């Protein structure tokens, strides 16, 4: 099964570019949800069996990252009638270019890291770093509040990928706690987006500029 | 027994949430905080046979540093909650359901955070603390407060995600080092010398960035002036005293593991640099700061820097840093609550509109002035003692540059903060800001007086039990190699 791991991680990397390149917010939500499902099932492809708790974890991750959180975001979009274009700070081509440069650097950098022999030849670390990088790009280069939430989710996905290396050392309770925090976090962010749109009649961050020195 | 201080505030929170009366709810918060304090007092005053209390297979543990932070948090929440009924009575038009419930939830999550002795569980608790505190900032329900809430939540969540990556690096350091270990802090410290050093270094940097974001160390402090500036004074106190102390405890625990594992200079240099940088950034933004609540936020950045320097220097400075955490938190109570009263009396928090506060709200203004003198390290108040301990330890351990810069930056902050504070309290109230009916009242002044009395007490005399607990905690955190 382990031979499927790298192809799936390449797919996850491709989804990073999808998230940077599509112009409709709903499509970005779907891309991030797809990545969530993909990452959720990755533990099944690791060396060795994962046991009953592993299956529970896979089910929770897929349920929350793939369906629960996207549903919250789509609900928030319907509630506040967010305009459906991404409205980027810099263009899609430049975003994709930055994403590509970051991914390339992640692959080069990961080679220099002292990894355990069983992890040295997988794409886990480069995919993790590249996804964290994509999350940061989305957080800084997109104006809409909901896009920043999606950037945060991508960042978290990147951390999740790294977590595959330490899966056996991480207790089940902690994994589930992390996912619940993420879910609650997005839930609270959804509520605040609702209030932002009511107060500012827009969810663009350009309006949120009253507080500065 | 360790579950009680977590669940009792949660039950009180549920009670507050389902209470219909706007006037009764703040009193439920007071009752919840009082019950929490009683439980914490019981835990601290009657330890079970000298050993640390633990539960959940060691995942929850009340160790010596935890006892200091938990005891301090219970005092902070109790005093802040007694301020709540008087404050909320002035805002009868606002529904305080979420506000009162969340104060209690925050008390539960901060307690949970202090008791978490497992690297992963501690992370989950810290993020829960962020989520519990975000709605409190949005109490005023205007554009400015929602902007502040959004920044707080997003920057805090991103920062804490990096702390999660750092925690995973730490557990990978064990895998790469070929050691079987749990993620309990004592176990990690025991095997630290066998952990993979490069991963351990990276783990330290990332967890410092992550928990440093929650603490508000520069340059990750950008949410702080907005959140503290827009939140009610009561919430400012809980954030600047409570949440930051929790994040500080997280850094204390992680640095102990890293110090035991990598060369001593690495952790020391990074912490001292971050500390001095935070003090410098705070000093720059405090000079000519017209918004006196934002000024308090930068003061918080400064004092987080002082804590980082204390931990970086280590040894006797650890004692000073723990004492300073208490002194800073209590003094922030004086400053934020009195600033909140002045804000209310003028309907503004800018020195362009506010002046002559000693004439309009004499007690609050006097307390604000006392708080300013205390926080800038003037004798005979508590922060003077703890800052002196830290700087003396720095010189004794040969950190002359850091110690010298520390003193220079303290002087700059004193001058910068003094300008704003004196502009607020001195002179005559402006005529275009007529009295709006707010006056100092027992309910809104008494908690501040108690905070100020504690700050003065800690400057004159440190009770023997506190002194020995601080020594014990500092010894538990120190790594001798």
Residue B200 lies in a domain: no
Q: Is B118 a residue whose pLDDT tops 70?
A: yes
8 A C-beta contact, residue B333 and residue B448: yes
pLDDT beyond 90 at B55: no
Q: Compare all CA atoms of chain A with the CA of B153 and give the residue at the minimum distance.
A: A189
What is the rounded distance in angstroms from the CA atom of residue B319 to the CA atom of residue B76? 20
**Which among B128, B150, B230 has the least Cβ separation from residue A181?**
B128
pLDDT at residue A49 above 70? Answer: no
What is the mean pLDDT of the segment spanning B343-351? 91
Q: Where are the alpha helices (DSSP H) in B116-196?
A: 119-137, 143-177, 185-190
* B230 reaches A (C-beta below 8 A): yes
Q: What is the pLDDT of residue B393?
A: 95
Q: Do B233 and B340 meet the contact criterion of CB atoms below 8 Å apart?
A: yes
pLDDT value of position B462: 93
Q: Is residue B50 part of a domain?
A: no
Report phi then psi at B184, rounded to 5.
-75, 140
Structure confidence at residue A48 (pLDDT) = 63
Tell me what the pLDDT averaged over chain B comes to: 92
- At residue A191, does pLDDT exceed 70? yes
Closest-approach residue (CA) in chain A for B162: A159
CA distances from A36 to A31, A50, A51, A146 (A): 9, 19, 21, 17
The pLDDT assigned to B248 comes to 97
| Segment A16-45, tens digit of pLDDT | 999 999 888 899 999 999 999 999 999 888
Residue A85, SS3 per DSSP: strand
Does residue A184 carry a pLDDT above 60?
Answer: yes
pLDDT above 90 (res A3): no
Rounded mean pLDDT of chain A?
87
Q: What tokens appear for A9 in the block?
A: 């991680």
Kindly determine whether residue A171 and residue B120, on different chains, have CB atoms separated by under 8 Å.
yes
- Is the CB of residue B42 less than 8 Å from the CB of residue B2? no
Closest of B212, B313, B307 to residue B265, by C-alpha: B313
pLDDT for A83 beyond 70: no
Give residue B417's domain range. Answer: 269-481
Assess if residue B96 is contained within a domain.
no
A172 touches chain B (CB under 8 A): no
Has residue B481 got a pLDDT over 60?
A: no
Give the whole-angstrom CA distance, residue B233 versus residue B452: 15
Q: What is the pLDDT of residue B49?
A: 60
Higher-confidence residue of B68 and B94: namely B68
Confidence of residue A1 (pLDDT cuts 50, 70, 90): low
pLDDT tens digits for range B255-283: 999 998 887 789 999 999 999 999 999 99
Model confidence band, residue A71 (pLDDT cutoffs 50, 70, 90): very high
What tens digit of pLDDT does each residue of B28-47 get? 999 999 999 999 999 988 76
Evaluate if residue A81 carries a pLDDT over 80.
no
Which residues are CB-contacts of B437 (< 8 A; sequence separation ≥ 6)? none
pLDDT of residue B56: 81
Residue among A139, A181, A188 minimizing CB distance to B124: A181
What six digits make up the tokens of B57? 């297979």
Is B161 in the A-facing interface, judged by CB distances under 8 Å?
Answer: yes
Q: What is the pLDDT of residue A37?
A: 96
Q: Which candidate in A185, A189, A198, A207 is best for mutational testing of the B interface (most B CBs within 10 A)?
A: A185
Cβ–Cβ < 8 Å for B210, B160: yes
Residue B182 lies in a domain: no
B243-280 exposure pattern, b = at least 16 Cβ within 10 A, e = fewer: bbbbbbbbbbbbbbbbbbbbeeebbbebbbebbbbbbb
Does the residue B476 lie in any domain?
yes
Q: Which chain A residues contact residue B221 at CB under 8 A?
A: none
CA distance B395 to B418: 27
DSSP lists the bridge partners of residue A88 as A142
A 102-121 → B contacts, CB under 8 A? 113-116
Say what angle helices B264-286 and B197-215 make with each other, to 10 degrees.
Answer: 20
> What is the structure's pLDDT at B221?
93
Q: CA Rg, chain B, in Å?
A: 21
Of B23, B49, B210, B40, the residue nearest B110 (C-alpha): B40
ipTM for the complex?
A: 0.93
Query: Is A211 close to B229, i.e. CB distance below 8 A?
Result: yes
Residues from chain A that touch B123, judged by Cβ atoms under 8 A, are 174, 178
Q: How far is A7 from chain B (nearest CA, A)?
A: 23
A80 pLDDT higher than 80? no
Query: Which two structure tokens, joined as six digits, stand for B246?
Result: 């929790």
Helix (H) or strand (E) holding A88: none
Closest CA in chain A for residue B290 = A213
Beta carbons within 8 Å of B426's beta carbon, 6+ residues apart: B355, B356, B358
**Mean pLDDT for the stretch of residues B71-96:** 93
The reported pLDDT for the residue numbered B372 is 96
Q: What is the pLDDT of residue B361?
A: 92
Q: Are strands B53-55 and B60-62 parallel, antiparallel or unpaired?
A: antiparallel
pLDDT band (50, 70, 90) for residue B48:
low
Q: How far apart are alpha carbons B429 and B296 in whole angstroms?
A: 22
Q: Does A202 touch chain B (CB under 8 A)?
A: no
B158 touches chain A (CB under 8 A): yes
pLDDT in tens, A139-155: 988 888 889 999 999 99
Q: What percentage of chain B's residues is helix, strand, coil (to nearest 5)? A: 80, 0, 20
Number of domains in chain B: 1
Band (B440; pLDDT cuts 50, 70, 90) = confident
**Whether residue A20 has a cis bond before it, omega within 30° of 0:** no
**Nearest-CA neighbor of B310 among B342, B274, B337?**
B274
Cβ contact, residue pair A178, B151, below 8 Å? no
pLDDT at A84 over 70: no
Residues 6+ apart with CB under 8 A from B67: B43, B44, B469, B473
Q: Is A199 on the interface with B (CB under 8 A)?
A: yes
Hey, where are the domains in chain A?
2-207
Lowest mean pLDDT among B48-57, B76-85, B351-360: B48-57
Strands (E), B311-401: none
CA B36 – CA B316 distance, rounded (Å): 31
**Backbone Cα Rg of chain A:** 18
């Amino acid at each position: 099964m382990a031979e499927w791991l790298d192809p799936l991680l390449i797919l996850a990397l491709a989804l990073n570019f999808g998230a940077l390149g599509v112009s409709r917010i709903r499509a970005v939500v779907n891309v991030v949800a797809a990545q969530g499902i993909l990452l959720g099932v990755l533990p099944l492809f690791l060396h060795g069996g994962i046991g009953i708790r592993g299956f529970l974890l896979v089910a929770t991750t897929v349920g929350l990252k793939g369906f629960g959180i996207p549903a919250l975001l789509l609900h928030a979009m319907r509630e506040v009638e967010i305009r459906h274009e991404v409205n980027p700070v810099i263009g899609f081509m430049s975003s994709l270019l930055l994403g590509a440069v970051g991914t390339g650097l992640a692959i080069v950098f990961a080679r220099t890291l002292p990894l355990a022999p069983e992890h040295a030849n997988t794409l886990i670390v480069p995919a993790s770093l590249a996804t964290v990088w994509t999350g940061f790009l989305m957080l800084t280069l997109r104006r809409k509040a909901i896009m920043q939430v999606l950037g945060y989710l991508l960042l978290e996905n990147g951390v999740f990928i790294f977590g595959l290396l330490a899966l056996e050392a991480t207790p089940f309770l902690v994994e589930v706690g992390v996912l619940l925090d993420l879910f609650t976090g997005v839930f609270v962010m959804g509520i605040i987006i609702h209030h932002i749109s009511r107060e500012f009649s827009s969810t663009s961050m350009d309006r949120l500029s009253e507080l500065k020195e | 027994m360790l579950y009680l201080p977590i669940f009792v505030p949660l039950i009180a929170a549920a009670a507050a949430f389902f209470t219909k009366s706007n006037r009764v709810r703040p009193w439920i918060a007071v009752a919840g905080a009082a019950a929490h304090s009683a439980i914490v007092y019981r835990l601290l005053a009657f330890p079970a046979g000298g050993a640390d209390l633990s539960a959940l297979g060691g995942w929850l543990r009340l160790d010596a540093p935890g006892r200091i932070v938990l005891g301090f948090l219970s005092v902070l929440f109790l005093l802040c909650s007694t301020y709540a009924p008087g404050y909320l009575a002035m805002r009868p038009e606002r529904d305080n359901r979420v506000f009162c419930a969340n104060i209690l939830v925050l008390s539960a999550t901060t307690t949970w955070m202090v008791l978490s002795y497992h690297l992963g569980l501690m992370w989950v608790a810290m993020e829960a603390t962020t989520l519990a505190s975000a709605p409190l900032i949005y109490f005023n329900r205007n554009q400015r407060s929602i902007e502040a809430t959004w920044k707080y939540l997003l920057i805090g969540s991103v920062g804490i995600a990096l702390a999660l990556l750092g925690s995973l690096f730490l557990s990978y350091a064990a895998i790469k080092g070929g050691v079987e270990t749990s993620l309990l802090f004592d176990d990690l410290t025991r095997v630290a010398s066998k952990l993979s050093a490069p991963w351990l270094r990276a783990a330290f940097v990332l967890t410092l960035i992550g928990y440093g974001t929650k603490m508000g160390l520069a340059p990750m402090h950008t949410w702080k002036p907005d959140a503290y500036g827009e939140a009610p004074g009561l919430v400012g106190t809980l954030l600047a005293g409570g949440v930051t102390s929790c994040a500080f405890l997280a850094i204390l625990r992680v640095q102990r593991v890293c110090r035991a594992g990598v060369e001593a200079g690495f952790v020391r240099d990074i912490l001292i640099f971050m500390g001095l940088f935070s003090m410098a950034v705070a000093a720059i933004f405090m000079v000519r700061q017209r918004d006196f609540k934002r000024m308090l936020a930068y003061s918080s950045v400064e004092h987080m820097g002082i804590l980082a320097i204390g931990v970086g220097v280590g040894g006797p400075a650890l004692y000073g840093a723990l004492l300073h955490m208490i002194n800073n938190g209590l003094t922030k109570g004086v400053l934020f609550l009195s600033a909140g009263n002045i804000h209310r009396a003028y309907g503004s928090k800018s020195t362009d509109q506010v002046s002559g506060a000693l004439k309009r709200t004499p007690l609050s203004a006097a307390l604000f002035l006392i708080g300013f003198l205390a926080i800038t390290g003037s004798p005979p108040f508590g922060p003077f003692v703890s800052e002196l301990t830290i700087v003396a330890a720095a010189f004794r351990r040969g950190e002359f540059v850091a110690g010298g810069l520390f003193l220079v930056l303290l002087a700059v902050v004193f001058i910068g903060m003094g300008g704003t504070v004196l502009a607020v309290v001195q002179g005559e109230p402006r005529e275009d800001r007529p009295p709006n009916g707010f006056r100092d009242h027992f309910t809104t002044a008494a908690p501040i007086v108690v905070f100020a009395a504690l700050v003065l007490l800690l400057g004159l005399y440190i009770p023997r039990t506190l002194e020995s607990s601080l020594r014990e905690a500092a010894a538990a955190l120190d790594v001798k190699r």
